[in-house]
Amino acid sequence: MPNKIELKMIDNGLDFILRSFNDLENNELKYTALHLYSGVLLILKERLYNVDEKLIFENTNKYNRNSLRNGNFQSVKYETLLSRLKEANIIIQNEFKAELDWLRSERNKMEHFHVNIRIEALKSHIVNILIHLVPFIKNELVYNYFLDEDDEKLQFIIEYLHKYNGYIKAKLKSIEQQEHLKIQMIDGLQCPYCSNDTIIIEGDSEAYCYFCETRFTDFEVEYINENYNLHEIAIDGGTDPRYECIDCRSQAMIYIEDSHSYICLCCGVWYSAEQIATCARCESQLVYNKYPDEPAFCDYCLDFFISS
Ligand SMILES: [Zn+2]
Ligand SMILES: [Zn+2]
Ligand SMILES: [Zn+2]
């Protein structure tokens, strides 16, 4: 592809979303809806643009780079936009789509008639849209390198949402309802960034937080640094919280008090405290507690017995 024309859609989209937060705080409900809708649409268009420039023309036969550069063209309409994203295997979840449809119809009514919006209803719809929009931005744009993770506007949006009670509650509830995720999360294993127990360790020290939508590529290190001071432990002679994992052998298994369990920060395997014992000889290695009434020994100590 020739050099990409920078349309600043994502930047403008994030601006509109920030503006909608302002409107909401000033009780300008009409503008909240208008700006949020424009913002979300620009972000979806940006994603489509990154599939192929042509696709943001409603009529792709009319595509030419000059029109694109001048912004002098009919850009893709809502329904076309969604169906083209789908064709490109970019997933807009059903609930997200339903909320966008709602926002779109409200926006149209607002533009043409005088409508009274109920503030609580509007707020709950807005929250639902944002619950889907943030993971969309992270997964489709940030983790595909179309947007910098540290982008200032994105950071503002996330910071704002993480202070907004309605958002926090709804987001946690939506995670709670996704059973396949919930079952993999450990109570008390807190995200080093947002402190929610919404982490899933995917292996190889990679982990994902489903609350703040952060992908960790070195979870073990980030978690330990956030929760312990290894340097101080080494100097003051405290106990290192890390054990050797009985599955993957990395020095990354820790005890989590809240869920009374041991979890490996590297491979993600976890056992309840009852399933685990400390080796009866060296008292430092963890072992799988097969026969709870008998002393258990680690492989190293068993080797020692055999060779001595
Ligand atoms: Zn988090
Ligand atoms: Zn492990
Ligand atoms: Zn041992």
Residue 306 Cα to ligand 3 middle (Å): 13
Cα gap 181→199, rounded to integer Å:
9
Q: Which residues pair with 255 in a beta bridge?
A: 262
- Give me 160's structure tokens: 């704002």
Residue reference for tokens 């950071």:
155
**25: Cα within 13 Å, side-chain hemisphere:** 8
Nearest ligand (C-alpha, residue 175): 1
Residue 208 Cα to ligand 1 middle (Å): 8
Residue 59 Cα to ligand 2 middle (Å): 53
Nearest ligand (C-alpha, residue 138): 1
| Mean pLDDT per 10-residue section of the chain, whose length is 308 residues | 77 96 88 93 96 95 91 93 97 93 86 71 89 95 92 95 93 94 95 96 96 95 93 85 94 95 96 93 90 87 85
**291: Cα within 13 Å, side-chain hemisphere:** 6
Residue 272 Cα to ligand 2 middle (Å): 14
Residue 204 Cα to ligand 2 middle (Å): 9
Strand 270-272 relative to strand 286-288, pairing: unpaired
Residue 212 Cα to ligand 1 middle (Å): 4
The pLDDT value given to residue 115: 66
**Distance of alpha carbon 134 from its chain centroid, rounded?**
7
Residue 160 Cα to ligand 2 middle (Å): 36
Residue 225 Cα to ligand 2 middle (Å): 18
- Give me 62's structure tokens: 């009319």
